Amino acid sequence: MTRPENSHGRRVVDRFVQRFGRSPQLLVRAPGRLCLLGAHVDTAQGWVLPGAIDRAIWLAASLATDRSGSLVACDLTDESGLDPARLAPPRHQRPGDPLRWTDYPQGVAWTLGNSGVGPLPPLDVVFGGDIPRGAGLSSSAAVEVAFLLAWNALAGLRLDRRSLAELATRVEREYVGVRSGVMDPFASLFGQSDHLLWLDCRSLDSRPVPLPTTVSVVVVDSGTRRELAASEFNARRTESAAALQRVRELYPSVETLRDLSVADLPDLLPQLPSPLDRRVQHVVEECARVQQGVEALERGEVETFGQLLRASHESSRDLFECSLPRLDAMAAAAWATEGCLGARFMGGGFGGCVAALVEVGSEPATAEAMLDVVGEVVPPPLVCRFADGAAIVDTVEPGNQPPAEGQRTC
Protein backbone atom coordinates (compact mmCIF):
# COMPACT_ATOMS: atom_id res chain seq x y z
CA MET A 1 0.00 0.00 0.00
CA THR A 2 1.41 3.37 -0.99
CA ARG A 3 1.16 6.06 1.67
CA PRO A 4 -1.98 8.12 0.91
CA GLU A 5 -1.55 11.72 -0.18
CA ASN A 6 -4.55 12.88 1.84
CA SER A 7 -3.64 13.70 5.45
CA HIS A 8 -6.74 11.99 6.82
CA GLY A 9 -6.01 8.90 4.75
CA ARG A 10 -2.44 8.86 6.08
CA ARG A 11 -3.71 9.27 9.63
CA VAL A 12 -6.04 6.25 9.58
CA VAL A 13 -3.43 4.07 7.83
CA ASP A 14 -0.73 5.07 10.35
CA ARG A 15 -3.10 4.47 13.25
CA PHE A 16 -4.09 1.08 11.81
CA VAL A 17 -0.43 -0.01 11.59
CA GLN A 18 0.21 1.29 15.10
CA ARG A 19 -2.84 -0.45 16.56
CA PHE A 20 -2.76 -3.79 14.68
CA GLY A 21 0.91 -4.19 13.73
CA ARG A 22 0.24 -4.75 10.05
CA SER A 23 -0.87 -2.85 6.97
CA PRO A 24 -4.59 -2.60 6.21
CA GLN A 25 -5.80 -4.59 3.25
CA LEU A 26 -7.70 -1.61 1.88
CA LEU A 27 -8.32 2.09 2.31
CA VAL A 28 -11.76 3.59 1.58
CA ARG A 29 -12.78 7.21 1.03
CA ALA A 30 -16.50 8.03 1.39
CA PRO A 31 -17.48 11.70 0.97
CA GLY A 32 -20.14 13.71 2.69
CA ARG A 33 -22.74 15.56 0.66
CA LEU A 34 -24.45 18.89 0.20
CA CYS A 35 -28.01 18.96 -1.14
CA LEU A 36 -28.53 22.34 -2.74
CA LEU A 37 -32.14 21.65 -3.77
CA GLY A 38 -34.62 18.94 -2.84
CA ALA A 39 -35.11 19.38 0.91
CA HIS A 40 -37.33 16.67 2.46
CA VAL A 41 -38.61 15.26 -0.83
CA ASP A 42 -36.55 12.07 -1.13
CA THR A 43 -38.96 10.03 1.02
CA ALA A 44 -41.75 11.24 -1.28
CA GLN A 45 -39.73 9.69 -4.13
CA GLY A 46 -39.17 13.17 -5.53
CA TRP A 47 -36.24 14.73 -7.34
CA VAL A 48 -33.16 16.04 -5.55
CA LEU A 49 -29.97 17.87 -6.47
CA PRO A 50 -27.13 16.91 -4.11
CA GLY A 51 -23.42 16.52 -4.69
CA ALA A 52 -20.55 14.69 -3.01
CA ILE A 53 -18.10 17.09 -1.38
CA ASP A 54 -14.36 17.14 -0.81
CA ARG A 55 -14.78 16.26 2.87
CA ALA A 56 -14.82 12.56 3.60
CA ILE A 57 -14.63 9.61 5.96
CA TRP A 58 -11.45 7.58 5.48
CA LEU A 59 -11.47 3.94 6.57
CA ALA A 60 -8.58 1.47 6.76
CA ALA A 61 -9.66 -2.15 7.14
CA SER A 62 -8.52 -5.76 7.08
CA LEU A 63 -10.09 -9.09 7.86
CA ALA A 64 -9.79 -9.56 11.61
CA THR A 65 -7.39 -12.08 13.06
CA ASP A 66 -9.79 -12.80 15.95
CA ARG A 67 -13.40 -13.92 16.01
CA SER A 68 -14.43 -10.41 17.05
CA GLY A 69 -13.18 -7.47 15.06
CA SER A 70 -11.98 -4.17 16.52
CA LEU A 71 -13.17 -0.69 15.53
CA VAL A 72 -11.10 2.42 16.23
CA ALA A 73 -12.76 5.83 15.79
CA CYS A 74 -9.87 8.27 15.43
CA ASP A 75 -11.92 11.45 15.75
CA LEU A 76 -13.57 10.23 18.96
CA THR A 77 -10.46 8.58 20.40
CA ASP A 78 -12.61 5.57 21.15
CA GLU A 79 -12.50 1.86 20.39
CA SER A 80 -15.07 -0.94 20.35
CA GLY A 81 -15.38 -4.55 19.35
CA LEU A 82 -17.72 -5.75 16.63
CA ASP A 83 -18.66 -9.38 16.15
CA PRO A 84 -21.08 -9.72 13.18
CA ALA A 85 -22.46 -12.88 14.79
CA ARG A 86 -23.38 -11.08 18.03
CA LEU A 87 -24.89 -7.68 17.26
CA ALA A 88 -27.01 -5.38 19.38
CA PRO A 89 -30.65 -5.29 18.23
CA PRO A 90 -32.02 -2.30 16.28
CA ARG A 91 -32.49 0.86 18.31
CA HIS A 92 -36.29 0.63 18.38
CA GLN A 93 -35.81 -2.52 20.44
CA ARG A 94 -33.59 -0.62 22.89
CA PRO A 95 -35.89 2.09 24.28
CA GLY A 96 -34.02 4.84 26.07
CA ASP A 97 -30.68 3.73 24.63
CA PRO A 98 -28.82 6.79 23.27
CA LEU A 99 -27.45 6.84 19.74
CA ARG A 100 -23.78 5.81 19.71
CA TRP A 101 -21.15 5.93 16.98
CA THR A 102 -21.02 2.14 17.07
CA ASP A 103 -24.65 1.95 15.92
CA TYR A 104 -23.61 2.82 12.35
CA PRO A 105 -21.10 -0.02 11.74
CA GLN A 106 -23.32 -2.35 13.79
CA GLY A 107 -26.26 -1.29 11.61
CA VAL A 108 -24.31 -2.04 8.45
CA ALA A 109 -23.43 -5.53 9.70
CA TRP A 110 -27.03 -6.14 10.85
CA THR A 111 -28.49 -4.98 7.52
CA LEU A 112 -26.09 -7.06 5.45
CA GLY A 113 -26.79 -10.05 7.64
CA ASN A 114 -30.53 -9.63 7.08
CA SER A 115 -30.10 -9.27 3.32
CA GLY A 116 -29.23 -12.88 2.61
CA VAL A 117 -25.56 -12.35 1.80
CA GLY A 118 -24.39 -14.97 4.26
CA PRO A 119 -22.31 -14.70 7.43
CA LEU A 120 -19.97 -11.70 7.51
CA PRO A 121 -16.33 -11.95 8.56
CA PRO A 122 -15.23 -9.67 11.41
CA LEU A 123 -13.07 -6.70 10.44
CA ASP A 124 -10.34 -4.67 12.08
CA VAL A 125 -11.02 -1.03 11.21
CA VAL A 126 -9.66 2.43 11.85
CA PHE A 127 -11.67 5.35 10.53
CA GLY A 128 -11.87 9.13 10.74
CA GLY A 129 -12.21 12.15 8.52
CA ASP A 130 -13.07 15.81 8.17
CA ILE A 131 -16.88 15.85 7.84
CA PRO A 132 -18.31 17.82 10.78
CA ARG A 133 -20.64 15.56 12.76
CA GLY A 134 -24.24 16.68 13.09
CA ALA A 135 -23.80 19.60 10.70
CA GLY A 136 -26.11 18.33 7.96
CA LEU A 137 -23.32 17.09 5.66
CA SER A 138 -24.25 13.40 6.01
CA SER A 139 -21.31 12.17 8.04
CA SER A 140 -23.41 9.16 9.12
CA ALA A 141 -24.19 8.16 5.53
CA ALA A 142 -20.48 8.46 4.69
CA VAL A 143 -19.61 6.12 7.58
CA GLU A 144 -22.21 3.61 6.42
CA VAL A 145 -20.99 3.76 2.82
CA ALA A 146 -17.38 3.31 3.91
CA PHE A 147 -18.20 0.19 5.95
CA LEU A 148 -20.39 -1.19 3.16
CA LEU A 149 -17.57 -0.80 0.63
CA ALA A 150 -15.10 -2.44 3.01
CA TRP A 151 -17.29 -5.48 3.71
CA ASN A 152 -18.31 -5.68 0.05
CA ALA A 153 -14.66 -6.03 -0.94
CA LEU A 154 -13.24 -8.06 1.93
CA ALA A 155 -16.17 -10.50 2.11
CA GLY A 156 -16.39 -10.81 -1.70
CA LEU A 157 -20.07 -9.78 -1.78
CA ARG A 158 -19.96 -8.20 -5.28
CA LEU A 159 -22.86 -5.82 -4.59
CA ASP A 160 -23.26 -2.96 -7.07
CA ARG A 161 -23.37 0.67 -6.01
CA ARG A 162 -27.11 1.02 -6.34
CA SER A 163 -27.57 -1.93 -4.00
CA LEU A 164 -25.12 -0.39 -1.54
CA ALA A 165 -27.08 2.89 -1.54
CA GLU A 166 -30.32 1.02 -0.85
CA LEU A 167 -28.67 -0.97 1.95
CA ALA A 168 -27.36 2.23 3.58
CA THR A 169 -30.92 3.59 3.51
CA ARG A 170 -32.11 0.45 5.29
CA VAL A 171 -29.42 0.94 7.96
CA GLU A 172 -30.90 4.35 8.79
CA ARG A 173 -34.54 3.29 8.65
CA GLU A 174 -34.48 -0.20 10.12
CA TYR A 175 -31.56 -0.11 12.54
CA VAL A 176 -30.76 3.48 13.51
CA GLY A 177 -34.39 4.57 13.44
CA VAL A 178 -34.25 7.62 11.17
CA ARG A 179 -36.82 7.68 8.40
CA SER A 180 -34.46 9.07 5.81
CA GLY A 181 -34.36 8.49 2.08
CA VAL A 182 -31.82 7.20 -0.42
CA MET A 183 -30.34 10.57 -1.36
CA ASP A 184 -27.46 10.77 1.13
CA PRO A 185 -25.75 7.43 0.43
CA PHE A 186 -26.53 7.71 -3.28
CA ALA A 187 -24.78 11.08 -3.48
CA SER A 188 -21.80 9.71 -1.53
CA LEU A 189 -21.50 6.76 -3.91
CA PHE A 190 -22.29 8.40 -7.26
CA GLY A 191 -20.88 11.92 -6.93
CA GLN A 192 -18.81 13.43 -9.73
CA SER A 193 -16.14 16.09 -9.48
CA ASP A 194 -17.38 19.66 -10.20
CA HIS A 195 -20.94 18.42 -10.70
CA LEU A 196 -24.18 18.17 -8.80
CA LEU A 197 -26.24 15.00 -9.16
CA TRP A 198 -29.82 15.09 -10.39
CA LEU A 199 -31.49 12.06 -8.81
CA ASP A 200 -34.97 10.64 -9.26
CA CYS A 201 -35.61 9.01 -5.88
CA ARG A 202 -38.28 6.71 -7.35
CA SER A 203 -36.46 5.19 -10.30
CA LEU A 204 -32.94 6.00 -9.02
CA ASP A 205 -32.15 7.38 -12.46
CA SER A 206 -29.48 10.04 -12.16
CA ARG A 207 -27.25 12.29 -14.23
CA PRO A 208 -24.49 14.79 -13.45
CA VAL A 209 -25.24 18.52 -13.72
CA PRO A 210 -22.18 20.76 -14.12
CA LEU A 211 -21.75 23.65 -11.71
CA PRO A 212 -19.95 26.69 -13.19
CA THR A 213 -16.37 27.22 -12.03
CA THR A 214 -17.23 30.87 -11.34
CA VAL A 215 -19.02 29.90 -8.12
CA SER A 216 -18.17 28.03 -4.96
CA VAL A 217 -20.00 26.94 -1.81
CA VAL A 218 -19.07 28.24 1.63
CA VAL A 219 -20.39 26.30 4.60
CA VAL A 220 -20.66 27.72 8.12
CA ASP A 221 -21.57 25.63 11.16
CA SER A 222 -24.34 27.12 13.30
CA GLY A 223 -23.00 25.46 16.43
CA THR A 224 -26.38 23.83 17.06
CA ARG A 225 -26.68 20.06 16.99
CA ARG A 226 -29.53 17.63 16.65
CA GLU A 227 -29.85 13.88 16.86
CA LEU A 228 -32.19 13.21 13.99
CA ALA A 229 -33.78 10.13 15.48
CA ALA A 230 -34.80 12.09 18.62
CA SER A 231 -35.79 15.35 16.91
CA GLU A 232 -38.74 16.68 14.99
CA PHE A 233 -37.36 14.98 11.88
CA ASN A 234 -39.42 11.83 12.26
CA ALA A 235 -42.45 13.91 13.21
CA ARG A 236 -42.25 15.63 9.82
CA ARG A 237 -42.09 12.23 8.15
CA THR A 238 -45.21 11.18 10.05
CA GLU A 239 -47.02 14.35 9.00
CA SER A 240 -46.01 13.82 5.40
CA ALA A 241 -47.34 10.25 5.52
CA ALA A 242 -50.63 11.50 6.98
CA ALA A 243 -50.82 14.15 4.28
CA LEU A 244 -50.30 11.53 1.57
CA GLN A 245 -53.07 9.37 3.02
CA ARG A 246 -55.47 12.31 2.89
CA VAL A 247 -54.37 13.27 -0.63
CA ARG A 248 -54.93 9.72 -1.88
CA GLU A 249 -58.48 9.83 -0.59
CA LEU A 250 -59.02 12.83 -2.86
CA TYR A 251 -56.75 11.72 -5.74
CA PRO A 252 -56.63 7.89 -5.79
CA SER A 253 -54.11 7.79 -8.64
CA VAL A 254 -51.44 9.57 -6.56
CA GLU A 255 -48.73 7.17 -5.38
CA THR A 256 -46.60 9.72 -3.53
CA LEU A 257 -46.67 13.51 -3.17
CA ARG A 258 -44.28 13.82 -6.09
CA ASP A 259 -47.14 12.84 -8.38
CA LEU A 260 -48.82 16.17 -7.69
CA SER A 261 -48.00 19.32 -9.64
CA VAL A 262 -47.95 22.94 -8.59
CA ALA A 263 -51.11 23.40 -10.68
CA ASP A 264 -52.94 20.98 -8.35
CA LEU A 265 -52.31 23.03 -5.23
CA PRO A 266 -55.03 25.76 -5.47
CA ASP A 267 -57.80 23.12 -5.45
CA LEU A 268 -56.07 20.68 -3.12
CA LEU A 269 -54.70 22.75 -0.24
CA PRO A 270 -58.06 24.08 1.05
CA GLN A 271 -59.16 20.48 1.52
CA LEU A 272 -56.25 19.61 3.83
CA PRO A 273 -56.05 20.38 7.56
CA SER A 274 -53.20 22.34 9.07
CA PRO A 275 -50.26 21.61 9.13
CA LEU A 276 -50.66 18.94 6.43
CA ASP A 277 -51.46 21.57 3.81
CA ARG A 278 -48.11 23.28 4.44
CA ARG A 279 -46.17 20.01 4.29
CA VAL A 280 -47.74 19.12 0.93
CA GLN A 281 -47.13 22.57 -0.51
CA HIS A 282 -43.45 22.43 0.42
CA VAL A 283 -42.86 18.98 -1.09
CA VAL A 284 -44.67 19.76 -4.35
CA GLU A 285 -43.01 23.14 -4.84
CA GLU A 286 -39.58 21.83 -3.84
CA CYS A 287 -39.82 19.09 -6.47
CA ALA A 288 -40.58 21.80 -9.03
CA ARG A 289 -37.61 23.88 -7.80
CA VAL A 290 -35.24 20.98 -8.45
CA GLN A 291 -36.33 20.73 -12.08
CA GLN A 292 -36.14 24.52 -12.45
CA GLY A 293 -32.67 24.49 -10.89
CA VAL A 294 -31.34 21.92 -13.32
CA GLU A 295 -32.73 23.91 -16.25
CA ALA A 296 -31.18 27.10 -14.89
CA LEU A 297 -27.73 25.53 -14.54
CA GLU A 298 -27.91 23.99 -17.99
CA ARG A 299 -28.68 27.47 -19.37
CA GLY A 300 -25.83 28.97 -17.36
CA GLU A 301 -28.23 31.06 -15.27
CA VAL A 302 -26.48 30.73 -11.95
CA GLU A 303 -28.24 33.79 -10.49
CA THR A 304 -31.60 32.12 -11.06
CA PHE A 305 -30.26 28.98 -9.41
CA GLY A 306 -29.21 31.02 -6.39
CA GLN A 307 -32.69 32.50 -6.09
CA LEU A 308 -34.10 28.98 -5.99
CA LEU A 309 -31.79 28.16 -3.07
CA ARG A 310 -33.20 31.09 -1.14
CA ALA A 311 -36.77 30.05 -1.97
CA SER A 312 -35.97 26.53 -0.78
CA HIS A 313 -34.78 27.81 2.59
CA GLU A 314 -37.84 30.02 3.00
CA SER A 315 -40.16 27.14 2.14
CA SER A 316 -38.39 24.82 4.58
CA ARG A 317 -38.73 27.52 7.22
CA ASP A 318 -42.35 28.54 6.64
CA LEU A 319 -44.02 25.43 5.18
CA PHE A 320 -42.06 22.42 6.38
CA GLU A 321 -41.10 24.25 9.58
CA CYS A 322 -37.79 22.51 10.11
CA SER A 323 -35.48 25.49 10.54
CA LEU A 324 -34.31 27.39 13.63
CA PRO A 325 -34.02 31.16 14.23
CA ARG A 326 -30.22 31.01 14.12
CA LEU A 327 -30.24 29.21 10.77
CA ASP A 328 -32.68 31.78 9.39
CA ALA A 329 -30.51 34.67 10.59
CA MET A 330 -27.38 33.11 9.10
CA ALA A 331 -29.08 32.61 5.74
CA ALA A 332 -30.39 36.19 5.78
CA ALA A 333 -26.91 37.52 6.57
CA ALA A 334 -25.47 35.57 3.66
CA TRP A 335 -28.20 36.80 1.28
CA ALA A 336 -27.31 40.40 2.17
CA THR A 337 -23.62 39.92 1.33
CA GLU A 338 -22.34 41.12 -2.04
CA GLY A 339 -21.42 38.16 -4.20
CA CYS A 340 -23.79 35.72 -2.47
CA LEU A 341 -26.22 34.19 -4.95
CA GLY A 342 -28.29 32.15 -2.50
CA ALA A 343 -28.10 30.23 0.77
CA ARG A 344 -30.02 27.62 2.72
CA PHE A 345 -29.52 25.32 5.67
CA MET A 346 -28.31 21.82 4.97
CA GLY A 347 -29.56 18.43 6.06
CA GLY A 348 -32.74 17.58 7.92
CA GLY A 349 -32.96 20.89 9.71
CA PHE A 350 -33.29 21.76 13.41
CA GLY A 351 -29.59 22.63 13.54
CA GLY A 352 -26.43 22.02 11.55
CA CYS A 353 -24.92 24.34 8.99
CA VAL A 354 -25.83 26.89 6.32
CA ALA A 355 -24.37 26.66 2.82
CA ALA A 356 -24.09 29.72 0.59
CA LEU A 357 -23.55 29.69 -3.15
CA VAL A 358 -21.18 32.58 -3.86
CA GLU A 359 -19.14 34.10 -6.63
CA VAL A 360 -15.50 33.04 -6.38
CA GLY A 361 -13.72 35.59 -4.22
CA SER A 362 -16.77 36.32 -2.05
CA GLU A 363 -16.23 33.39 0.31
CA PRO A 364 -14.50 35.33 3.16
CA ALA A 365 -17.09 38.13 3.34
CA THR A 366 -20.03 35.69 3.23
CA ALA A 367 -18.49 33.46 5.87
CA GLU A 368 -17.79 36.43 8.12
CA ALA A 369 -21.37 37.67 7.83
CA MET A 370 -22.69 34.29 8.96
CA LEU A 371 -20.11 33.96 11.74
CA ASP A 372 -21.19 37.35 13.11
CA VAL A 373 -24.66 35.85 13.61
CA VAL A 374 -23.35 32.75 15.35
CA GLY A 375 -21.42 34.80 17.90
CA GLU A 376 -19.56 31.86 19.43
CA VAL A 377 -16.64 29.59 18.72
CA VAL A 378 -17.59 27.13 15.98
CA PRO A 379 -15.52 25.04 13.55
CA PRO A 380 -13.83 27.10 10.82
CA PRO A 381 -15.90 27.78 7.68
CA LEU A 382 -15.52 25.30 4.84
CA VAL A 383 -15.16 26.21 1.19
CA CYS A 384 -16.38 23.07 -0.52
CA ARG A 385 -15.80 21.66 -3.96
CA PHE A 386 -17.94 18.90 -5.40
CA ALA A 387 -15.98 15.67 -5.61
CA ASP A 388 -16.03 12.13 -6.96
CA GLY A 389 -18.01 9.48 -5.13
CA ALA A 390 -16.82 6.89 -2.65
CA ALA A 391 -14.10 4.49 -3.67
CA ILE A 392 -11.51 2.01 -2.48
CA VAL A 393 -8.39 4.06 -3.09
CA ASP A 394 -5.73 1.47 -2.26
CA THR A 395 -5.45 -2.23 -1.45
CA VAL A 396 -2.98 -4.83 -0.22
CA GLU A 397 -3.60 -8.41 -1.31
CA PRO A 398 -4.09 -10.86 1.57
CA GLY A 399 -0.88 -12.74 2.29
CA ASN A 400 1.28 -10.06 0.65
CA GLN A 401 1.35 -7.52 3.46
CA PRO A 402 4.72 -6.08 4.44
CA PRO A 403 6.15 -7.01 7.82
CA ALA A 404 5.02 -4.91 10.79
CA GLU A 405 8.47 -4.61 12.38
CA GLY A 406 9.38 -0.90 12.50
CA GLN A 407 6.57 0.00 10.18
CA ARG A 408 4.55 3.11 11.07
CA THR A 409 3.42 4.15 7.58
CA CYS A 410 2.44 2.39 4.39
- Return the active site residues: 184
Residue 345 near residue 354 (C-beta atoms within 8 A): yes
Q: 305-318: string of b/e by CB count within 10 Å (b at 16+)?
A: bbbbbbbbbebbbe
Which residues does 55 contact at the CB level (< 8 Å), separation at least 6? 31, 32, 129, 130, 131, 132, 137, 382, 384
Which residue type sits at 263?
Answer: A
Residue in 105, 133, 128 with CA at minimum distance from that of residue 14: 128
User: Beta-carbon neighbour count of residue 389 at 10 Å?
Assistant: 21
Residue in 65, 72, 33 with CA at minimum distance from that of residue 49: 33
Surface-to-core class of residue 146, CB atoms within 10 Å of its CB (0-12 exposed, 13-18 middle, 19+ buried): buried
* Bond prior to 364 in cis (omega within 30° of 0): no
CA distance 151 to 167: 12
What's the distance, CA 263 to chain centroid? Answer: 31
Residue 12 near residue 141 (C-beta atoms within 8 A): no
CA distance 299 to 309: 17
Which residues does 100 contact at the CB level (< 8 Å), separation at least 6? none
